Amino acid sequence: MQDEPTPIELTKSVADFLRNDITPLISGHQAFKLRVAINILDLVTRQLTREEGSDAEEVARLRALLGIDGSVTELNHALAERIAKGEVDLATPGLAEHLWATTMDKLAVDQPNYASYKRELGRGG
């Protein structure tokens, strides 16, 4: 693993370069495709920035909810199985809160400018 630049710094630098230096030179459908690429780089940067913390928080919530250990993928699979079997539902203590926190974490990466997301952040959650 390299020390510097970090993957976050690299993706941010490429996105900034494309946004600031290349976008003004391109028009039409190529400009649209460039904006899509920039959005993807921005999304990857946000994911890299938030992933470790949000995954750790999600794992902690899932462990408490399910009473088992595992990776975020394994725990989500176990939760889905329990929901499918009717063993867990919205009346289960902690489930609604977990689902809400997970949704907000995902929106922070995927759609941080989404109006409803911003409104919910302003409410504290």
- What is the model's pTM? 0.74
Q: Note the pLDDT tens digit of each residue in 105-124.
A: 999 888 888 888 888 888 87
pLDDT at position 113 is: 87
Q: Residue 119 corresponds to which amino acid?
A: R
pLDDT at position 69 is: 96
Report how far residue 42's alpha carbon sits from residue 109's, in angstroms, rounded to the nearest whole number.
Answer: 9
Is the pLDDT assigned to residue 2 strictly greater than 70? no
Is the pLDDT assigned to residue 73 strictly greater than 80? yes
**Confidence bin at 125 (pLDDT 50/70/90):** low
Report how far residue 107's alpha carbon sits from residue 24's, in angstroms, rounded to the nearest whole number.
Answer: 29
Site of tokens 């999304």:
43
Report how far residue 26's alpha carbon sits from residue 18's, in angstroms, rounded to the nearest whole number.
Answer: 10
Report how far residue 22's alpha carbon sits from residue 31's, in angstroms, rounded to the nearest whole number.
Answer: 9
Report how far residue 19's alpha carbon sits from residue 60's, in angstroms, rounded to the nearest whole number.
Answer: 37
Bond prior to 5 in cis (omega within 30° of 0): yes
pLDDT at position 1 is: 59
Q: Note the pLDDT tens digit of each residue in 11-70.
A: 999 999 999 999 999 999 999 999 999 999 999 999 998 887 888 999 999 999 999 999
Question: What residues does each domain of the chain span?
Answer: 7-123
